[in-house]
Structure 1
Amino acid sequence: MAHLLHQFLSETAASRPHHTALIAGENAVTFAELDRQSDAVACALQSAGVVRGDRVAVMLENSIEYVAGLFGALKAGAVYVPVNPSTKADKLAYILTDAGVRALIAPAALARQVVPAAGEAPHLATTLWVGPAVPAGAGGLSFTDIVATHPDPQSGGFKPQDRGLIDQDLAAILYTSGTTGRPKGVMLSHAALVNTTWSISTYLENTPDDVVMCVLPLTFGYGLSQILTGARVGFTVVLERSFAFPAETLARMVKHRITGLPGVPTFFSTLLGMEALKTADLSSLRYLTNAAAPLPTAHIDRVRERFPDAAFYSMYGMTECCTRICYLDPRDLGTKTASVGRAIPNCEAYVVDELGNRAAPGEVGELVVRGANVMRGYWNRPEETAKRLRSGPQGETLLYTGDLFTMDADGCLYFVSRKDDVFKCRGEKVSPKEVENALYELEAVVEAAVLGVPDAADGMAVKAYLVVRPGATLTEMAIRQHCRGRLESHLVPKFIEIRDELPKTDSGKIRRATLAETA
């Protein structure tokens, strides 16, 4: 039984060597070939001086090379650090320096932003460049040559040296999206990620026959979980670089007869608005999942209407808990549509009041999590770690999420808001999510964000930022009339701004801080 993350791939490659592991565009790779490629990367990293516990950053778009680099870093005994390829040079330099990255896997096409950042990273020893050649004057190694020339073990190829890892060693440092301030590195052990991967694939009832479409960036924990569950179970993952061309992605969903479709609210909103979806044959679809941000109830209803035979999983998580804390059993969706359900297997999640006592059913309080999925802490941030992690009554580690929830009498959880998002209007508390849910009931609304803005009369007034579906017409009068029929008077938006798009983090969450700066 695997106790290290990369053992998922090695074990599946041994039991299902010829099964397709990944499809990326017109390219595909089996588990055996992916195992060989990741061995090649691991051997190259070790030859370059990477030792147990060193950090290796992977800065690539969704691709076969990305996954080979991820598992190669783990096999080398290193700690995997994902970096979004759109990261600018100054932020890249910060992450490379903060994490003390020893080796970087990056695209040759981005050398102009990578090389200056690498020059500011004191611990960086080598870069593996993905592309036709090592960029002129850059130095480093060719990832392509490394993978192409490394034979498999049956042909005399070397396996990477066993660095003696145990499940308490770090497997990954995932930098938070950083909606405010500098991003923090979340430390996750092999034990935490192995447990959570088992838990997710268990409640989703994954089988080797699944074919899962991944439009989520692999630098995002939710995207990473598709790769890890695929490696554990032995199913095929279809990788999309993005959802920039929805019609092409939809065509590949049909072509590959996908059975699983993970997404975020913006993805589902776009998908539901596509005319081609009405005639697309997605009868193979077994389940859909939503995480990262709550999907509005109105959108859930539309998803269920379009895919009546597929199970829909509303989920909630955060990077600090291997991106997964709870999920709603699809059988409860009809009666608890707004809930994110109960804790995942081998995890407990509950609500506490301001005194730290467990809250009564229906009482709003902070969500606390205990379980194997809880992070080790923030990299080099002991004070930040102490604010979030506390010791439990049995000596276990408790994570205080900073999110407000309620729990009903059946133990199902309901997200209210981030603690920092709640504000008062006319002396009454405003939860932005409550207003946003009402706005999402409007067919024309694609995205909505509600903030409190300074106002002479109300102290803080409700302001709604909206993105409207192309071709749709929506007036402020119609919006307020709709809200008055569903919300208390102090919750009705006083100010409304319609935009072409809303600012988002790398994981697709709306950047409320950015909106607040322009309010």
Structure 2
Amino acid sequence: MLHDAVPLLHDYLAHSAGRLGGKVALVCNKQRVTYGELETRANAIAGDLAASGVVRGDRVMIFADNTVETVVSFWAVLKANAVVCIVNPLTKSDKLDYLLNDCKPTALITDGHLQAVFREPARGCPSLLRMIVSGTIDDVELSRLPHAVRWATAVAIDGGAPPPRRCIDVDLAAIIYTSGSTGEPKGVMLTHRNMMTACTSIASYLELGEDEVILNVLPLAFDYGLYQMIMAFRTGARLVLERSFAFPARVLELIRQEGVTGFPGVPTIFAALSELKSLKDQDFSRIRYVTNTAAALPLKHILMLRELFSSARIYSMYGLTECKRCTYLPPEDLERKPLSVGIAIPNTEMWIVDEHDRRVGPGVVGQLVIRGATVMKGYWGKPEATARKLKPGPLPGEQVLYTGDYCRMDAEGYLYFVGRGDEIIKSRGEKVAPKEVENVLMNIPGVREAAVIGVPDELLGQAVKAFVVMENGRTIGEKQLQMECQKRLENFMVPKSIVVVASLPMTDTGKLKKTALS
């Protein structure tokens, strides 16, 4: 018999609902939902899943936008002792079909407006015992889906108590698929302990409290977006959930209306902010912190954020889905180490190794290794890929994460991201880190965004090629951009060609998609 006192991820919602049942937990699409309402709805959906045959360890896929139903479903799946897998609503039919066949979910929770995408993959998925469809869908279409009911039907059952608790903290809580920008998507397996450890660590250095109002414009299918929701509900804060940053003026008005105190973003969002002319008229005095992940912020964005959010602490962070978060740069260090992604997050250890797996000293570039309770259990159904990432650690029987990312550390232990292992360019026999070239390009006045790749070259092996997006109204020629690079870079790092483009290709989660550049 399992003891109910064992803390699990979904206890975050239950505990906050117990303390703060009447408090608004979620603001989404003009809806305001309290902690008590979320808890009741999640219990109801969990009950429906359990009654449909979902048992401990089964996977349940959520294919939907950032909506109230998606938030409820996340907690409901955990309460049903199952493993949650949120899939980006921009996913196409063929990829959805791959994901369904890969993780073989027992249930699929989705929205009627996506039926053109999910219809055929769902019909062809033999593992499904239940589909719950929110939004608009006619009766005929619903009847053609496997074991399908409307959301209103599933949520209407008694939500007084969840199904009996079966899991312990080393059971899987979630499978989060990587974007698949290179090769097939891989499902990162995370336990309750993995995710709770990450939440505790991040919330501690951000100093989150229940008076926070956290804005999330990132997809819940993206772990950075998902953890905003989890951490908000862990502390009893309020989450303001938007589908995207596609309409910046609307989001800025929400920041003002809701009194937002926390603003997590990515470089593409901050680049878009820098283009807005109306920012100086906005009052952002209540924003207490701004976070960035994916890479160190360019200096121009740091200066812009400091001016815009003058009373906020700015956190530059770095991580990957396989361990959630690796490092953060304390705001007080931003001035003296603006290009660093910081120090290891609390309760995590990191070091850098060379190609012979030997630890290296300060200033030496090598592969980053992460040790701690946030490290994933592996990739779902992919033992060979898992073995390349998880290797024996210092203690017998433990495994540490070989990130595949190349970094260096300074004498104080601050990390500097150099590049993904598969992105390093070998030109003229020298190794070129795209990030170094991109940083130089980004700090040329008039350049808004930059991306650097290696392309085949008969003489050089690989040539450095850059793509830049200019700020509105600015024009700079390729020769002038190359001259600016020559002032700041070694000769072998200067791009052989620079192409000015209207925009850079992005993945569904807003990350730069370099595989679409050539």
Structure 1 window deviating more from structure 2 (40-49 vs 288-297): it is 288-297
Aligned residue for 1:362? 363
- Deviation for aligned residue 1:276: 1.4
1:80-139 C-alpha deviation (Å, 9 max, x unpaired): 011111111111011011101110111111112111011222211221001144552333
Distance 1:337 1:135 in 2: 57
Distance 2:94 2:139 in 1: 20
1:50-78 C-alpha deviation (Å, 9 max, x unpaired): 01110001111111111001000110011
Instruction: Return the letter of the residue paired with 1:312.
Output: I
Query: Is the contact between residue 293 and residue 509 of structure 1 (CA under 8 Å) also seen in structure 2?
Result: no
Distance 1:440 1:10 in 2: 45
Query: Is the contact between residue 113 and residue 136 of structure 2 (CA under 8 Å) also seen in structure 1?
Result: no
1:324-355 C-alpha deviation (Å, 9 max, x unpaired): 11101111111111111111111111111222
1:155-184 C-alpha deviation (Å, 9 max, x unpaired): xxxx22214210010000011100111101
Distance 2:170 2:159 in 1: 30
1:345 aligns with 2:375: no
Distance 2:48 2:159 in 1: 14
Q: CA RMSD in A?
A: 1.4
Structure 1 window deviating more from structure 2 (481-490 vs 335-344): it is 481-490
Aligned residue for 2:293? 291
Distance 1:284 1:188 in 2: 34
1:78 aligns with 2:82: yes
Aligned residue for 1:66? 70
Aligned residue for 2:385? 384
- CA pair 88-279 structure 1, distance change in 2 beyond 3 A: same
Q: What SS does the aligned partner of 1:351 have?
A: strand
Aligned residue for 1:496? 498
Query: Is the contact between residue 292 and residue 508 of structure 1 (CA under 8 Å) also seen in structure 2?
Result: no
Aligned residue for 1:136? 140
Distance 2:38 2:360 in 1: 48
Distance 1:113 1:186 in 2: 24
- Deviation for aligned residue 1:151: 4.7
- Deviation for aligned residue 1:259: 0.5
Instruction: Return the letter of the residue paired with 1:423.
Output: I
Distance 2:456 2:354 in 1: 28
Taking structure 2 as the reference length, the TM-score comes to: 0.96
Query: Is the contact between residue 51 and residue 163 of structure 1 (CA under 8 Å) also seen in structure 2?
Result: no
- CA pair 115-160 structure 1, distance change in 2 beyond 3 A: same
1:224-263 C-alpha deviation (Å, 9 max, x unpaired): 1001101110100100111111111111111111100000
Following superposition of structure 1 onto structure 2, how do residues 148-297 of structure 1 map, counting pairs within 5 Å? Answer: 149-153=156-160, 159-297=161-299
Q: Percent identity?
A: 47
Query: Is the contact between residue 466 and residue 497 of structure 1 (CA under 8 Å) also seen in structure 2?
Result: yes
Q: What SS does the aligned partner of 1:136 have?
A: helix
- Deviation for aligned residue 1:3: 2.0
Following superposition of structure 1 onto structure 2, how do residues 86-125 of structure 1 map, counting pairs within 5 Å? Answer: 86-125=90-129
1:2-26 C-alpha deviation (Å, 9 max, x unpaired): 7211010000100111111110131
Following superposition of structure 1 onto structure 2, how do residues 294-443 of structure 1 map, counting pairs within 5 Å? Answer: 294-321=296-323, 323-395=324-396, 396-443=398-445
Structure 1 window deviating more from structure 2 (88-97 vs 483-492): it is 483-492
Query: Is the contact between residue 464 and residue 497 of structure 2 (CA under 8 Å) also seen in structure 1?
Result: yes
Aligned residue for 1:156? none
Instruction: Return the letter of the residue paired with 1:320.
Output: E
Q: What SS does the aligned partner of 1:301 have?
A: helix
Query: Is the contact between residue 178 and residue 188 of structure 2 (CA under 8 Å) also seen in structure 1?
Result: yes
Query: Is the contact between residue 327 and residue 344 of structure 1 (CA under 8 Å) also seen in structure 2?
Result: yes
Query: Is the contact between residue 213 and residue 260 of structure 2 (CA under 8 Å) also seen in structure 1?
Result: yes
Instruction: Return the letter of the residue paired with 2:246.
Output: A
Q: What SS does the aligned partner of 2:140 have?
A: coil
- CA pair 41-87 structure 1, distance change in 2 beyond 3 A: same
1:7 aligns with 2:8: no
Q: What SS does the aligned partner of 2:454 have?
A: strand
Distance 1:201 1:316 in 2: 15
1:265-294 C-alpha deviation (Å, 9 max, x unpaired): 000110122111111100001000001343
Query: Is the contact between residue 47 and residue 159 of structure 2 (CA under 8 Å) also seen in structure 1?
Result: no
**How many pairs were matched up?**
509
- CA pair 119-319 structure 1, distance change in 2 beyond 3 A: same
Distance 1:135 1:502 in 2: 42
Query: Is the contact between residue 285 and residue 310 of structure 2 (CA under 8 Å) also seen in structure 1?
Result: no
Q: What SS does the aligned partner of 1:406 have?
A: strand
Instruction: Return the letter of the residue paired with 2:247.
Output: F
Distance 1:479 1:144 in 2: 57
Distance 1:234 1:134 in 2: 38
Taking structure 1 as the reference length, the TM-score comes to: 0.95
1:455 aligns with 2:457: yes
Aligned residue for 2:41? 37
Structure 1 window deviating more from structure 2 (391-400 vs 379-388): it is 391-400
Instruction: Return the letter of the residue paired with 1:128.
Output: I
Structure 1 window deviating more from structure 2 (175-184 vs 458-467): it is 458-467
- CA pair 253-227 structure 1, distance change in 2 beyond 3 A: same
Instruction: Return the letter of the residue paired with 2:318.
Output: Y
Aligned residue for 2:60? 56
Instruction: Return the letter of the residue paired with 2:67.
Output: S
Instruction: Return the letter of the residue paired with 1:103.
Output: A
Query: Is the contact between residue 97 and residue 120 of structure 1 (CA under 8 Å) also seen in structure 2?
Result: no
Distance 1:467 1:128 in 2: 42
Q: What SS does the aligned partner of 1:320 have?
A: coil
Structure 1, unpaired ranges of 5+: 154-158
Q: What SS does the aligned partner of 2:488 have?
A: coil
Query: Is the contact between residue 176 and residue 321 of structure 2 (CA under 8 Å) also seen in structure 1?
Result: yes
- CA pair 350-219 structure 1, distance change in 2 beyond 3 A: same
Q: What SS does the aligned partner of 1:128 have?
A: strand
